[in-house]
């Protein structure tokens, strides 16, 4: 097991990115869904379209974020801030 102070290996960053990406998308979708449900329930008289909109928005945002993250310039050994934050939230093989 590696310590968090050790810089990440390049192959692991890929994994890390994917983790972040997926979690982020899930979170965004879920939150979009939730918001959609809320909105549809509250504002739009239980029509289904805010739900789909919300999920779509969430998916899209997640997708975009994911894509952006993958497109970011690759610096081996550097750990992104988000990754460190997310590192605390989700257990990673690299942390602790």
Partner 1 sequence: MLRAAHLPRAQPAALNFLLVSKRWQQTPASPGSGITASTKSTPGSHTTQYATNNPASAFKTQTAASRPSFNAPIDRTSNPYKTTTSPTSTYVPPSSQRTNPSSGNKTGGGAGTLVKAIVYGVALGVTGTLAYAEYENDSFRRQLESTIPYTATILGGIDQVIDPVLGRQKSITKGITDKVPDLAYVKDKLPGKDQVKKLGEQVKDATNQVVEKLPDKNTLKKVGEQAKDAVNKVTDKITDQSKAKGLVHQTTDQVKDAVNTVREALPDTKGLKKNLDHMKEQIQDAAHTVKETVKEAVPALPKGRSGDSSGKLTDPVFIEEAGEMAVPPPIPQDKYKKLEEEISQLFAPLSTQIDEALSAAREHISHMKTLIDNPHISTSDHETWKKAEHLQEQAKTSYEKATDKLREWKDKLVEYSTATNGQIHPEEKKLDEKYQELHKQYTTSTFVKNFRTYIDEATKSFQKEIETMFPSLAGKNPTQLTHEDLQALLVHAHRRVVKLQNDIARMRINESDSIKAGVESARSEIDRLVEERVQTRVAKTTEQLTEELKSYEKNLRQQFDEQLKYEIVLQHQALTQYLADVLSRQYQEWAREYEKQLENESMKINLNLQNQLRSTLDRLHAIEQAIEANYDSQQRGRQAQQLWIQAQNILNQIVHGTTTENDLDVISKIVPNEKFVHILLNELKADDSPVTNEEMLRERFTHVNKLCRRVALIDDEHNSLWNYFLSYLQSLLIVRQRDDTILTDDAIDLNRLSTFTILNYVQSYLDHNQWYNALRLMQLLSGEPRNVAQSWIADTRNYLAKKQTSELLEAYSNSIGLGTLPRTA
Which residue ranges make up the site for partner 1 (CB under 8 A)? 6, 8-11, 13-15, 63, 66-67, 70-71, 74, 76-77
Q: How far is the CB of 57 from partner 1 (least distance, A)?
A: 17
| DSSP 3-state of 46 | coil
Residue 45 or 71: the one with the smaller Cβ distance to partner 1 is 71
Q: Are 5 and 49 in contact (CB under 8 A)?
A: no
* Terminal Cα distance for the chain, rounded: 7
Q: Which residues of 43-58 are buried (b: 16+ CB within 10 A; e: fewer)?
A: eeeeeeebbebbbebb
- Report the distance separating Cα 37 and Cα 29, nearest Å: 12
Quick one: 67 or 84, whose CB is closer to partner 1? 67
Q: For residues 24 and 40, which CB has a smaller minimum distance to partner 1 in the complex?
A: 24
Question: What minimum distance in Å lies between the beta carbon of 62 and partner 1?
Answer: 10
Give the shortest CB-11-to-partner 1 separation in angstroms. 5
């Amino acid at each position: 097991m590696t310590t968090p102070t050790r810089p990440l290996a390049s192959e692991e960053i890929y994994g890390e990115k994917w983790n972040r990406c997926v979690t982020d998308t899930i979170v965004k979708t879920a939150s979009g869904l939730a918001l959609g449900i809320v909105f549809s329930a509250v504002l739009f008289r239980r029509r289904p379209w805010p739900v789909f909109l919300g999920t779509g928005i969430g998916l899209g945002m997640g997708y975009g974020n994911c894509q952006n993250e993958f497109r970011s310039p690759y610096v081996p050994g550097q750990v992104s801030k988000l990754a460190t934050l997310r590192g605390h939230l989700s257990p990673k093989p690299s942390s602790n």
